Amino acid sequence: MEIEKKSTGRHRVVIVGSGFGGLFAATKFKDEDVDVVLVSSTTHHLFQPLLYQVATGILSEGVIAPSTREVLKKQKNVEIFIGTVTDIDVDAKRVTAELLDSTQVYDYDSLIVAAGAGQSYFGNDHFAQFAPGMKSIDDALELRGRIFGAFETAELAAAAGQWDDVRSLLTFVVVGAGPTGVEMAGQISELANRTLADDFRHINPKDARVVLVDAAPQVLPPFGANLGKKAQGQLESMGVEVLLGQMVTNVDATGIEMKTEDGTVTRIDSVCKVWAAGVAASPLGKLLGEKTGAEVDRSGRIAVQPDLSLPGHPEIYVVGDMMSLNKLPGVAQVAIQGGRYAATSILARVKGQPSPGPFKYFDKGSMATISRFSAVTKVGRLETEGFIAWLMWLGVHLFYIIGFKSRLTTMISWALAFLGDNRDERTATEQQVHARLAIDELGDKYRPSVEVPGLLAESKTNHAIEAKDEPAQIETPKN
């Protein structure tokens, strides 16, 4: 399968990733005399800060993950391709991506790498089998199935009189007391105490135990001691147990083990665990570091120049969670502003205009919701908590949801969940819960094909296997 694109004679920008950095960079090129190719491993733009609401049944995945094509459909100078980038040739100025058994090659004049970050288990990747992270739609849907499934399974166990199993099933452990962990712990508590309170006959969901664990000495470290203490107090008033200074040392199917600074080891029996601690940049950070000589830190983030470019390669920009510059946090605003800045710099160079100068991040503050009507916000030195902070959180997040229909749907869902006790997005399937682990168990045997989608390589005829020895090449030569 070969695709050759005709030359248009224009500057070509390749963008890797459809998250905040990639999408906002792409929109900056609207109506400009450049060609834009956006390559992403997903077909959607993910509003990651609201993933926990998908996992806990408040929002549908479509509301926070609109189709990238739909978002950019009126921008005629943008082409969108799905594929996972596996190589970047910085000398030949070529990006290689793969989808199923096909290989795509994209030449570029300028490159913006905004591939984001995944979950980090701090060298204990086997924890992921029993404690899913929350970085993708797949993660959120799996967690939804695990959370609601724990209540359903507990009902069965209670009906059979297996009360030890009930206690384990109704114990939820969230690892990581940053914004994601705090929001997830708060919503599981509200789910148990409000939404599901009257739904079962053999268990009382209010008996659920929700535990928030972190090795740090406080909740929400970036927010400062004052807001961290208030957030912890609000969580504890909701019945959430907050365990600080506890380092997770082991996770298995039925529980989690923690160790304090003095070496004391404790265990909590729990079937449903959520990992919300730590991030690791896309592997492309390490790859670019090897190709360009730029430094890469322990989290996989690559050190960029003050203009977000790589040393010796002014045509390559790295933005968002992948970049390391002035200790900037891995938040959406850094990616948004970085993506826009990189696009502005490229346009200035194409038009022969002066460079915009070094990247300057404007900190718009940090926010975290704890429960309905309660949140904490920090904007500069201004700290706010409670209902006012919650209203601020609602407004900011609603603003960044893309599309009128999605905003309207979100407002209705929030009204039902926060003013009442309804959560319409409680559907979960067996595939959502078990597919990730099943694919991991298959390992290299899982080789879905364009010709025979979803079938294993071993199930094909010998002729089909031989035909796959050489992957198809999809080349999109530079203008």
Q: What percent of the chain has pLDDT over 90?
A: 86
Residue type, 97: A
Identify the band that residue 8 occupies on the pLDDT scale cut at 50, 70 and 90.
low
Residue-wise pLDDT for 91-147, tens only, equals: 999 999 999 888 999 999 999 999 999 999 999 999 999 999 999 999 999 999 999
pLDDT of residue 478: 56
Q: What is the model's pLDDT at position 466?
A: 41
* CATH at residue 191: 3.50.50.100
Which of 142, 183, 190, 385 is labelled catalytic? Answer: 183
| Whether residue 446 has pLDDT greater than 90 | no
Long-range Cβ contact pairs of 420-425 (< 8 A, separation 24 or more): 421/194, 421/195, 421/197, 422/195, 423/56, 423/57, 423/58, 423/191, 423/195, 424/57, 425/54, 425/57, 425/58, 425/59, 425/60, 425/144
pLDDT of residue 72: 97
Claim to verify: residue 187 and residue 267 sit in the same structural domain: yes
Mean pLDDT of the chain: 92
Q: Which residues contact 283 (CB under 8 A, 6 or more apart)?
A: 300
The last residue of one of the domains, among 277, 293, 315, is: 277
**Does 479 score more than 60 pLDDT?**
no
Count the domains in the chain: 2
Domain termination residue (choose one: 332, 350, 368):
350
In a domain, residue 452? The reply is no
Model confidence at 447, pLDDT cuts 50, 70, 90, reads: confident
Q: Which two tokens stand for residue 452?
A: 């025979």
For the residues 368-386, what does the mean pLDDT come to? 94
- pLDDT greater than 70 at residue 225: yes
What average pLDDT score do residues 268-292 get?
96
Query: Which domain does 299 fall in, by range?
Result: 11-41+83-119+280-350
Q: Tell whether 133 and 216 lie within a shared domain.
A: yes
Return the pLDDT at 451: 63
| Mean pLDDT value of segment 212-240 | 96
Q: Is pLDDT of 473 > 70?
A: no
Residues 148 and 176 occupy one common structural domain: yes
- CATH code at 105? 3.50.50.60
Same domain, 159 and 284: no
Q: Is the pLDDT of residue 183 over 70?
A: yes
Whether residue 261 is found in the same domain as residue 137: yes
> The sheet that has 374-379: what strands, in order across it?
366-371, 374-379, 382-386
Q: Can you tell me which residue has the tokens 């690791």?
A: 280
Stronger pLDDT, 8 or 274, i.e. the higher one = 274
Helix (H) or strand (E) segment spanning residue 138: helix 137-159
Q: Above 50 in pLDDT, residue 471?
A: no
Domain-located, residue 445 = no
Is 183 one of the annotated active-site residues of the chain?
yes
Does 190 reside within a domain? yes
Q: Return the pLDDT at 331.
A: 92
Q: Which of the listed residues 277, 293, 326 is the one where a domain comes to its end? A: 277
